[in-house]
Structure 1
Amino acid sequence: MLDVQALTKTFGDKTAVDRASFAVDRPMMIGIIGRSGAGKSTLLRMLNRLNDASDGAILFEGHDITALRGAERRQWQSRCAMIFQQFNLVPRMDVVSNVLHGTLNRRSTWATMFNLYPQEDIHRAIEILDRLGIAEQAPKRAEALSGGQQQRVAIARALMQDPAIILADEPIASLDPMNAQIVMEALRRIHEEDGRMVIANLHTLDTARRYCDRVIGMRDGRIVFDGTPAQLTTGVARDIYGAGAGFSEAATSTQIETLDQTLLEEAKAEALV
């Protein structure tokens, strides 16, 4: 389905992504991990064509995505939806209208100017919100929702595009553990029930292991690991993050139980001092 070939992105004399290559032969849920500045976000932005590649190629079902321009490029961006860490919603607009923005690439300029939507699109938007457990939020302003609810609205907007691929750039980085779990479970269900490919940049190892079929590790712009969650050992993770022997996965955990245990151990240590 997706074949990334020696994909490279340079900004001046800095190489953000360095000859990244991987192939995906069927819809999977893939997690990309690595420390800040490893090139994860730049890689996703090239896949979506928000950024042009400096070198290399992206093939999807045999078509060269890196060669697309104009309307064909916008059409690809509809098939390859993007979800961002900061949600990118219109704060003062109601939730259902934010979701309907997922149809902008296939609507006329006239309809967009006057905010006119077909009745079937409105019904579909509400159905998607219901699927994500937030249909009752449809008439509210987006800014009135919690962070977890806003991220689910962003997921709903992506689903309105009916994409083949969903790219999620640190979708839970700004969420508390409970909302992070809800968002990741929603993405996993979308992958399993719809047969869509999901590629998510993640900042925690436990999340990658729990929800993903495959994990790609990046360091200094290069792919240094590509394997199953079971192969993502602490030693491998230490190499991906360039960390020393003191590297602790608990410090990056989103599991509520792990966080509680970590806080308990810290409290005990302080009591002994």
Structure 2
Amino acid sequence: MLVVDQLTKRFGANTAVDNASFTVDRPKMIGIIGRSGAGKSTFLRMMNRLTDATEGEIRFEGRNVLALKGAEKRAWQSDCAMIFQQFNLVPRMDVVSNVLHGTLAKRPALSTVFNLYPREDIHRAIDILERLGIADHAAKRAEALSGGQQQRVAIARALMQDPKVILADEPIASLDPMNAQIVMEALRRIHDEDGRMVIANLHTLDTARRYCDRVIGMRDGRIVFDGTPEQLTTGVARDIYGAGADFSEDATSTEIRDPVAETEIRQAEVAI
């Protein structure tokens, strides 16, 4: 389904992604981990065609997406939705309009300028917000929502594209543990219920183990680990992060251990 073949990206003398190769045979939820500067974000940006590769190929369902141009490139970017760490919403625009922006690639330019959308698109946007537990906020400005709620709006916008692949670049890096778990649960359900491939750059090992079917570790632009969450031992993590014996996973954990907080997160998940 997805083949990454000897993918390389250089910025001058610096190599951000170095000869990366892996294959995915069916839709999975994949976590990519590694320290800052390991090449995780650059890889996602190449896959979404936000930046070009220096060498190599990314083939999805047999088609080299790095060779696409014009309308075919834009169609691929619609099939391959991107979720960013900082949400990339229009702050002063209402939530449902932000979600409807997921249809921009498929709508006439004039209709989007005047914020005119078909009734069926509006209903679908509200249904998606309902699915993510934030339909009550549809009429609010995006800037009035919490960080976790804004990230779920960004996920809803991605779902409006009806993509085959969802790329999430550090989707919980700026969130507190409770909201981080709500967002990751939402991404996991989208994978399980919709059968969509989800590839997420993550900064915490416990999150990768808990939510992902497969984990890829990057160090200095190269893939140094590719396996199951069970194979991601502390020793392997030290190698991925280039850390010494004093490396502690607790420093990056997003696990909620407070009983009251655990009850609240379960109630929030049920509400979604």
Q: Summarize the alignment of residues 18-33 of structure 1 with structure 2, pairs less than 5 Å apart.
A: 18-33=18-33
Match of 1:158 in 2: 158
**Counterpart Cα distance in 2 of 1:17 and 1:146:** 34
Structure 2 counterpart of 1:212: 212
In the alignment, does 2:87 pair up with 1:100?
A: no
Secondary structure of residue in 2 paired with 1:7: strand
Alignment partner of 2:257: what SS? Answer: helix
Specify the alignment match of 2:185 in structure 1: 185
Render the CA deviation track for 1:215-254: whole Å, top value 9, x for unaligned. Answer: 0000000000000000000000000000000000000000
Q: What pairs with 1:109-258 in structure 2 (closer than 5 Å)? A: 109-257=109-257
Query: What is the deviation of 1:109?
Result: 1.3
RMSD value over aligned CA atoms? 1.0
Tell me the distance in 2 between the aligned counterparts of 1:153 and 1:127. 12
Cα distance between partner residues in 1 of 2:143 and 2:238 = 39
Partner amino acid, structure 1, of 2:72 = E
Task: Give secondary structure in 1 for the equivalent of 2:162.
Answer: coil
Partner of 1:257: helix, strand, or coil? Answer: coil
Deviating above 3 A after TM superposition, structure 1's stretches of 4 or more consecutive aligned residues are none
Partner of 2:270: none
Q: Which moved more, 1:68-77 or 1:198-207?
A: 68-77
CA shift, 1:65, in A, is 0.4
In the alignment of these two chains, the number of paired residues is 259
Q: Distance in 1 between matches of 2:64 and 2:207?
A: 32
- In structure 2, the partner of 1:264 is none
In structure 2, what residue type is equivalent to 1:186?
Answer: A
Please list every run of 5 or more consecutive structure 2 residues that lacks an aligned counterpart in the other structure.
261-272
Whole-angstrom distance in 1 between the partners of 2:68 and 2:215: 28
- For residues 55-74 of structure 1, what are the structure 2 equivalents within 5 Å? 55-74=55-74
**Which 5+ residue runs of structure 1 have no aligned equivalent?**
261-273
Classify the secondary structure of the residue corresponding to 1:45: helix
Residues 67-96 of structure 1: CA distance to partner in whole angstroms, max 9, x if unpaired? 001111110000000000000000000000
User: Over residues 84-140 of structure 1, what are the superposed CA-to-partner deviations in whole Å (9 max), with x where a residue is unaligned?
Assistant: 000000000000000000000001111122111000000000000000000000000
Partner of 1:268: none
1: CA distance, partners of 2:139 / 2:115 = 15
Deviation at 1:206, TM superposition (A): 0.1
Q: Percent identity at matched positions?
A: 82
1:35 corresponds to: 35
Write out per-residue CA displacement over residues 137-178 of structure 1, whole angstroms, 9 at most, x where no aligned residue: 000000000000000000000000000000000000000000
Distance (whole Å) between structure 1 residues aligned to residue 11 and residue 80 of structure 2: 24
Report SS of the residue matched to 1:217: strand
**AA in 2 matched with 1:170:** E
Letter in 2 for 1:153: V
TM-score normalised by the chain length of structure 1:
0.94
Letter in structure 2 aligned against 1:181: Q
